[in-house]
Amino acid sequence: MGQTLILYRLQQIDSQIDRAKSRLLAIDKVLEDDADLKAALEQVRSTEDEFAVASRELKNAETDVQNHHIKIEQTEASLYGRSSHTPKELQDLQNDVAALKRHRLTLEDGQLNAMIAIEKAELSLNNARENLKAVKDRLADQNQGLNKERETLQKEYEKLSTERLAVSGAVPPDLIRTYDTLRLQKRGLAIATISDNSCDACGSTLNKAQIQSSRSPVQMAFCPSCGRILYSS
């Protein structure tokens, strides 16, 4: 078997290894990306805080209304009680009751607004929790599939690495160095096949002598344009 053919086979293996490594890196990046989960968790925490604030405001509003109602009852009890009052005192008490009842409307409006606010906050919180669950379910399904794919790719990568070791061992070290250097320089493509008397990598036309040399089992031919090793089946 010619050295160029072995190197061509080595390049096929390396290309498969490169694809497997690239996909493994992409999978790891997706598995490590928890931006959606963090955003969903932050949304829940934010809406929980909003709900807590709305709950406190509603409780305070309810307490204010209740305390104000007691104050009205006490004032009315003083007004309509058996104790004697001067006309001025009666007028003052009546004015106080009227003022308290007017203010009660304001407090009740505040309580109503607080009830509306807590309903909105509760709805936002429920939506945030549902979204968090949906994100967790989606990531669980996604990651399960990606982990299975990763496991398969890892096994394939290990198999290809063993195969590469065996194939590269059949090539002299100096040729391996040439091949590795070209792979680094030529974006992973050290060996170029020939089609229609041209280099498939750069498209340069080759003469008969160059094509014949590419078929030699004892020497290597290089593309005069791109410098890659030429391989002709």
Domain residue spans in the chain?
34-168, 173-231
Q: How far apart are CA 211 and CA 203, in angstroms?
A: 14
Which one, of 183, 137, 141, lies nearest residue 164 by Cα? 183
> Three-class SS of residue 193?
strand
What is residue 83's predicted lDDT score, i.e. its pLDDT?
A: 63
Average pLDDT over residues 146-157: 96
The average confidence (pLDDT) of the chain is 92
Q: Is the pTM of this model over 0.75?
A: no
* pLDDT-derived band at 97, boundaries 50, 70, 90: confident
What is residue 162's predicted lDDT score, i.e. its pLDDT?
A: 96
What is residue 91's predicted lDDT score, i.e. its pLDDT?
A: 84
178-209 pLDDT, tens digit each: 999 999 999 999 999 999 999 999 999 999 99
Write out the H or E segment, with its range, that includes residue 230. strand 229-231
Residue 112 has pLDDT above 70, yes or no: yes
Count of all residues that appear for the chain in the document: 233
Average pLDDT over residues 18-47: 96
How buried is 208 (Cβ within 10 angstroms: 0-12 exposed, 13-18 middle, 19+ buried)? exposed
* pLDDT-derived band at 78, boundaries 50, 70, 90: confident
Q: Does domain 34-168 have CATH number 1.10.287.1700?
A: yes
Residue 106 has pLDDT above 70, yes or no: yes
- What are the tokens at 183? 């792979």
What is residue 76's predicted lDDT score, i.e. its pLDDT?
A: 82
Q: How far apart are CA 9 and CA 179, in angstroms?
A: 12
What is residue 30's predicted lDDT score, i.e. its pLDDT?
A: 94
Q: Largest Cα–Cα distance in the chain?
A: 132
Residue 16 has pLDDT above 60, yes or no: yes
Could you give the residue ranges of the DSSP H alpha helices within the chain?
3-32, 35-80, 87-168, 173-185, 208-214
Residue 1 has pLDDT above 70, yes or no: no
Compare 80 and 162 and report the one with higher pLDDT. Answer: 162
203: left (phi over 0), alpha (psi -120 to 50) or beta: left
